[in-house]
Amino acid sequence: MLTKIAAETVAPSCHPERSEGSAVVDGKPKLWFDGEIADADALQADLTTHAMHYGSGVFEGIRSYATKQGASVFRLRDHLERMRKGAELLGIAFDAEQAADATLQALRANRHRDAYIRPLAWVGAGSFGLDVAGHAQHLMVATTPALVHLSGANTRMTVSPWRRNPASSLPPLKLCGAYVNSILAKREAKSRGFDEALFVDDAGLVVECTGANVFLVKKGRVTAVEHRDALPGITRDTLIALSSADARAVTLDELRDADEVFACGTAAEVAPIAAIDARVFGDNPVSRELAALYARVVRGEEAAFRSWLTPV
Ligand code: PMP
């Protein structure tokens, strides 16, 4: 039995503010799938696809930006290295060079410049058993001008009653099944009228958000929340390099007591947090300054960091 995959993840290039230069060549969104560029709506996957039943896949969230030197992908190699680690755990063959090339091909085929890029490697059809050995394996890369996480200002966060997957059960990599944990927390937070959930552990230490890492600013000092259950974010790493932030464990009490809090991630970039439950934060000048610096870095306007950009 066959069903369509991924068509809904590839929004047509119709965002008014992003339409310039992003028109699809023949009007149809394209995907890179198992070695070829294809029309997104023509692709199909078997309903026995293992990843659909058990989450046996690994993905990345990457961004490309329009720069003065043309479209460029930010920290492509670092994203694909994280993806390689996840693929290795699942026994999925993964060639980072091929995935890099597929990413560039997908962006070119869609003529995307400012885009969110979604590579996914997964275990395909075979059987309903949990042993993935012998199953088909696939790789796709979709690109979309639409963003997926915390792209608005004024994010209101709540402490989640859910715990983050402990690293001793699920390593903090972008394994598909692990994201059910984020989905539950996001649903619960939204059901109480918040935008985002904050994971805290049993000892009261801050972990991360559903799809972003957390920083605080106190008396002008920037601190990156460190926790072994949190994804080692590439944006977090970038911001530590840009701000010489400390990286250390932070309690929820300390976070609430901060002058500023922001979340960060490839999609979210630097997203100031307006409130954590009843604690409302005021002005956020340090977060804004860091957000502006980050925006210059990803757009190739800071020469010292251009090696992080891969031209499309
Ligand atoms: N934590 C989680 C759970 C995420 O899904 C993401 C997004 N990939 C992040 C943090 C931020 O990571 P990055 O900066 O590498 O996008």
Q: What is the pLDDT of residues 121-139, one digit of tens each?
A: 999 999 999 999 999 999 9
Q: What does the pLDDT average to over 267-292?
A: 96
Torsion of CA 200, 212, 229, 223, to 10 degrees: -80
Ligand 1 pocket, mutate which of 266, 269, 290 (most atoms under 8 A from CB): 266
2 CA distance to ligand 1 middle (Å): 32
Q: What does the pLDDT average to over 248-271?
A: 97
Query: pLDDT (tens digit, 9 = 90+) per residue, 98-110?
Result: 999 999 999 999 9
Q: What does the pLDDT average to over 166-192?
A: 98
34 CA distance to ligand 1 middle (Å): 25
Distance CA 222, CA 211 (A): 20
Ligand 1 atom closest to the Cα of residue 174 is: 5
Contact 96, 77 (CB under 8 A): yes
Q: Is 214 in the pocket of ligand 1 (CB under 6 A)?
A: no
224 CA distance to ligand 1 middle (Å): 14
46 CA distance to ligand 1 middle (Å): 29
Q: Is 172 in the pocket of ligand 1 (CB under 6 A)?
A: no
Name the closest-CA residue to atom 5, ligand 1.
211
The secondary structure of the chain in percent helix, strand, coil, rounded to multiples of 5, reads 30, 30, 40
289 CA distance to ligand 1 middle (Å): 21
pLDDT band for 308, please (50, 70, 90 cuts): very high
Distance CA 218, CA 286 (A): 10
Lowest-pLDDT range of 7-11, 115-119, 226-230 = 7-11
Ligand 1 pocket, mutate which of 235, 236, 238 (most atoms under 8 A from CB): 235
Paired with 269 in beta bridges are: 265
What's residue 20's pLDDT? 35
Percentage of the chain beyond pLDDT 70 is 89
Q: Is 208 in the pocket of ligand 1 (CB under 6 A)?
A: yes
Q: Is 86 in the pocket of ligand 1 (CB under 6 A)?
A: no
pLDDT band for 150, please (50, 70, 90 cuts): low
- Position with higher pLDDT, 17 vs 274: 274
Q: Is 272 in the pocket of ligand 1 (CB under 6 A)?
A: no
Q: Is 233 in the pocket of ligand 1 (CB under 6 A)?
A: yes
What's residue 19's pLDDT? 34
Query: pLDDT (tens digit, 9 = 90+) per residue, 32-67?
Result: 999 999 999 999 889 999 999 999 999 999 999 999
Cβ neighbourhood burial of 123 (10 Å; 0-12, 13-18, 19+): buried
Ligand 1 pocket, mutate which of 78, 182, 231 (most atoms under 8 A from CB): 231
Counts for the chain of helices (H) and strands (E), in that order: 7, 19
75 CA distance to ligand 1 middle (Å): 13
Q: Which residues contact 108 (CB under 8 A, 6 or more apart)?
A: 312
| Spacing of C-alpha 247 from chain mean position | 20
Distance CA 23, CA 13 (A): 6
